[in-house]
């Protein structure tokens, strides 16, 4: 049952009509006292709560009432309805446990989508507490293609992915570089009702600010000097399907504003065309940055963050699921064997144990590269620890090759500084990636930047 709380009779009537038309049971009340009575009596699954139901209090009362509902039961899902003026308060509401907010005047389709998704998710959370499925059960239910892993925490992640893939909720995938974020994003799409529709991947780090709108929304011929023909934007390509916004933490602040609008209203305009268009996309995004930390430091918009993270999936680093290393290594080897017909090739148990104890800062990608490299070099027989060790060392030597210090000219510190600068250039100033590539924590990287006077704000020297 859905409970509508709003003091405006017109809002109550139209919401009641809309929800009933969509097959929901709904009841509407005009004040908080009646709302509490209804909640106690009928235990609604969802409350649609107007933030401004008391006109004098500009939304504050909505938040207070939200807290009261959550005290009665955390299981009741609350969607806030806010006016434009109260969007910051609605964001507060999300922090307090509201599921979503819609702004007045609302779009019926979006509202119904949010209602359906929230009820679906809540049931998932309830059933999720019961038990985690085995890999076999998951494979019967979902299509996880090439995704390998049986670590219990990883299985529960796969189960969540299976459960949420059929909803339209936006998903934020977090995790270090190489943990499989892109693979998981694809799996969400593959298991969704949109599977036969487009999956469009966009690397946000690769789009210069000045081209953001043209790239994402498209442009009309002649809209600007270089616009020689009409261009279809990514949101249009992705229409009816899924858009995967990768490296989301790298979006500049001005692009963040534009992204917020399209994600919030699902509306946009082409550059050079004033007609507003509607897009129907499911949004999945990923980043290896600490978005919460970026929000705290005003580097990422809080309202955009809450738009993106209706469902957050955190992929653990490989070192925290090292029981999966042998399975992954054997699978990567099998693929190479098939591809090149290396029929007589295997890994010894000792080598698998040894691999399981490595740190793998580059996570699954690094393990995959190591296994593939070693297999391609040796081609047959049993791969032992020494074979893997050789490949790792060669790789390291190759990385610093060509930069032999001239005696008396270059200290080890200078080599370190040069290597850091080179890595920063390579990763386009993405310090998480730089730290990861150098095998340093972010803290350790910052200490070195400080030591060598490398300033990030004045990074133009790296362009």
Ligand X SMILES: Nc1ncnc2c1ncn2[C@@H]1O[C@H](COP(=O)(O)OP(=O)(O)OP(=O)(O)O)[C@@H](O)[C@H]1O
Could you list the residues that contact Mg ion (CB under 5 A)?
181-182
Of Mg ion, ligand X, none, which one does residue 430 interact with (CB within 5 to 8 Å by kind)? none
Q: Is 368 in the site for ligand X (CB under 6 A)?
A: yes
By CB under 6 A, the count of residues binding ligand X is 16
d(CA 55, CA 445): 52
Token digits for 68? 């009261």
d(CA 58, CA 329): 58
CA distances from 310 to 64, 115, 164, 306 (A): 22, 13, 11, 7
Per-position x/- string for 118-157, each x denoting binding to ligand X as judged by CB under 6 A, each - no binding: ----------------------------xxxx--------
Q: How far is the CB of 335 from Mg ion (least distance, A)?
A: 20
Q: Which is nearer to Mg ion, 181 or 231 (CB)?
A: 181
Give backbone dihedrals phi and psi of 114, rounded to 5 degrees, phi first. Answer: -65, -40
**46 closest CA partner among 73, 22, 83:** 73
Q: Which is nearer to Mg ion, 206 or 439 (CB)?
A: 206
Of ligand X, Mg ion, none, which one does residue 368 interact with (CB within 5 to 8 Å by kind)? ligand X
Q: How far is the CB of 8 from ligand X (least distance, A)?
A: 46
Of Mg ion, ligand X, none, which one does residue 317 interact with (CB within 5 to 8 Å by kind)? none
Q: Is 361 in the site for ligand X (CB under 6 A)?
A: no
Q: Which is nearer to ligand X, 53 or 388 (CB)?
A: 388
- Going by C-beta distance under 8 Å and a sequence separation of 6 or more, which residues neighbour residue 32? 5, 53, 61, 65, 68
Before 105, cis peptide (omega within 30)? yes
Q: Is 114 in the site for ligand X (CB under 6 A)?
A: no
DSSP bridge partners of 145: none
Q: Quick one: DSSP state of residue 462?
A: G
Q: How far is the CB of 101 from ligand X (least distance, A)?
A: 30
Binding ligand X (rule: CB under 6 A), the pick from 44, 62, 178, 233 is 178
**Cβ atoms of 183 and 147 closer than 8 Å:** yes
**Separate counts of helices (H) and strands (E) for the chain:** 20, 16
Q: Which is nearer to ligand X, 102 or 147 (CB)?
A: 147
Of ligand X, Mg ion, none, which one does residue 266 interact with (CB within 5 to 8 Å by kind)? none
Q: How far is the CB of 365 from Mg ion (least distance, A)?
A: 9
d(CA 263, CA 208): 20
d(CA 39, CA 72): 9
Token digits for 60? 């504050």
Q: Is 180 in the site for ligand X (CB under 6 A)?
A: yes
Q: How far is the CB of 128 from ligand X (least distance, A)?
A: 21
Name residues contacting ligand X, limited to 242-301 (CB under 6 A): 288
Q: Is 183 in the site for ligand X (CB under 6 A)?
A: yes
**Cβ atoms of 429 and 462 closer than 8 Å:** yes
Q: Which is nearer to Mg ion, 70 or 365 (CB)?
A: 365
| DSSP string for 180-222 | SHHHHHHHHHHTSTTTTS-EEEEEGGGS-GGGHHHHHHEE-TT
Q: How far is the CB of 164 from ligand X (least distance, A)?
A: 18
Q: Which is nearer to Mg ion, 77 or 315 (CB)?
A: 315
Q: How far is the CB of 142 from ligand X (least distance, A)?
A: 14
Which H or E run contains 110?
Answer: helix 108-128
Of Mg ion, ligand X, none, which one does residue 149 interact with (CB within 5 to 8 Å by kind)? ligand X
Q: Which sign does the torsion angle of CA 224, 225, 226, 230 carry?
A: positive
- List contacts with ligand X (CB under 6 A): 146-149, 175, 177-183, 288, 364-365, 368
């Amino acid at each position: 049952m859905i409970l509508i709380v709003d003091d405006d009779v017109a809002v109550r009537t139209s919401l009641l009509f809309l929800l009933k038309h969509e097959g929901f049971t709904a009841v509407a009340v005009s004040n908080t006292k009646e709302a509490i009575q209804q909640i106690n009596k009928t235990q609604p699954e969802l409350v649609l709560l107007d933030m401004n139901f008391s006109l004098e209090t500009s939304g504050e009362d909505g938040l207070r009432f939200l807290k009261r509902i959550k005290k009665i039961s955390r299981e009741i899902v609350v969607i806030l309805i806010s006016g434009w003026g109260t969007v910051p308060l609605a964001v507060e509401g999300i922090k307090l446990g509201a599921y979503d907010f819609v702004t007045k005047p609302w779009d019926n389709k979006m509202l119904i989508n949010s209602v359906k998704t929230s009820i679906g998710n809540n049931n998932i959370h309830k059933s999720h507490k019961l038990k985690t499925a085995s890999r076999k059960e998951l494979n019967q239910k979902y299509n996880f293609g090439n995704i390998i892993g049986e670590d219990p925490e990883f299985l529960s992640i796969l189960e969540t992915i299976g459960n949420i893939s059929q909803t339209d909720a936006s998903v934020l995938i977090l995790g270090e570089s190489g943990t499989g974020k892109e693979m998981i994003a694809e799996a969400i799409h593959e298991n969704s009702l949109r599977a036969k529709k487009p999956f469009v991947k966009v690397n946000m780090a690769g789009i210069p600010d000045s081209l953001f709108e043209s790239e994402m929304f498209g442009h009309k011929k002649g809209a600007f000097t270089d616009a020689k023909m009409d261009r279809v934007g990514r949101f249009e390509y992705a229409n009816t399907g899924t858009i995967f916004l990768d490296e989301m933490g790298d979006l500049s602040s001005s692009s963040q504003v534009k992204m917020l609008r399209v994600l919030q209203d699902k509306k946009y305009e082409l550059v050079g065309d004033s007609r507003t268009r509607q897009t129907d996309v499911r949004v999945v995004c990923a980043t290896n940055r600490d978005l919460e930390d970026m929000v705290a430091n005003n580097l990422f918009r809080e309202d955009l963050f809450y738009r993106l993270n209706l469902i957050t999936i955190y992929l653990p680093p490989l070192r925290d699921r090292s029981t999966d290393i042998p399975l992954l290594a054997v699978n990567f080897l099998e693929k190479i064997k098939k591809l090149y017909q290396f029929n007589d090739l295997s890994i010894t148990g000792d080598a698998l144990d040894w691999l399981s104890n490595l740190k793998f800062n580059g996570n699954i990608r690094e393990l995959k590269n190591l296994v593939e490299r070693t297999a391609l070099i040796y081609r047959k027989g049993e791969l032992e620890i020494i074979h893997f060790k050789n490949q790792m060392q060669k790789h390291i030597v190759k990385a610093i090759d060509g930069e032999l210090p001239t005696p008396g000219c270059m200290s080890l510190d200078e080599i370190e500084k040069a290597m850091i600068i080179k890595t920063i250039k390579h990763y386009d100033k993405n310090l998480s990636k730089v730290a990861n590539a150098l095998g340093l924590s972010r803290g350790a990287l910052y200490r070195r930047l400080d030591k060598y006077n490398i300033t990030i704000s004045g990074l133009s020297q790296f362009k």
